[in-house]
Amino acid sequence: MTPATSFLSETGTLCRACFARWEAEDQATRSAARARDAVALRQAGRLGQFHGVNWSAGVILLAGWVAVPGWLSTALVAGIIVLAIAMRFRSRAAFRVAMAVDTAGSIVFLAVSATHVAGGRLLFLLFPAVFGWWLAFLTWRRRGAFA
C-alpha cells in the first residue's frame, strides 16, 4: 500500500472518514494554489504599472529635450502601454520584453543624460535610467509570476 492509496478500501472506494480528510486536504491545496496565483497576479500587475509610469514619463522627458519625432514618441508610449497591459496578464513574452526594455532603456537614458550634463537636465534624465535598472531587478526577482 502506498500513501496515495491508503485511504481506499478493499473495494476501491473511500471510507467516510478518509473521504472527509482527503476532501479537506484537496480543498486546502486548491485554496493555497489560488492564493499563490492571486499574489502572482497582483505582483505582475504592479510591475506593469511601474513599467508604464516609468517609461512613459521617460519618453515624454526625452521627447522634450532631444529631437525625437512626434510619431516615434507616440509609438513608444503606445508600446509601453501595451507592455504594461501584457504584464498584467502575466505573459512570458511580456517578461522578456520588459527585461529588454529595462536594459536598453536604461542604457539609452544613461547615454543621453551623459550628453546633457550641462543645464541641469542630468537628474531628470538619470531618474528613468536608475529606476529602469531597479525595475529590471524587480522583474527578474518576480519572474515566477510570469511562468
Task: At 14, give phi and psi (nearest 5°).
Answer: -85, 140
SS3 assignment, position 116: coil
Which residues touch 60 (CB under 8 Å, ≥6 apart)? 73, 77
Task: At 8, give phi and psi (nearest 5°).
Answer: -90, 140
Identify the pLDDT of residue 142.
Answer: 87
- Between helix 70-88 and helix 16-65 the angle, nearest 10°, is 170
SS3 assignment, position 3: coil
Looking at every residue in the chain, the average pLDDT score rounds to 83
CA distance 87 to 95: 7
67 against 15, higher pLDDT: 67
Q: How confident is the model at residue 119 (pLDDT cuts 50, 70, 90)?
A: low
Which of 118, 136, 141, 147 minimizes the C-alpha distance to 54?
Answer: 136
Q: What is the pLDDT of residues 72-103, one digit of tens each?
A: 889 999 999 999 999 988 888 999 999 999 99
Please state the pTM of the whole predicted model: 0.72
What are the cell numbers at 106? 536604461
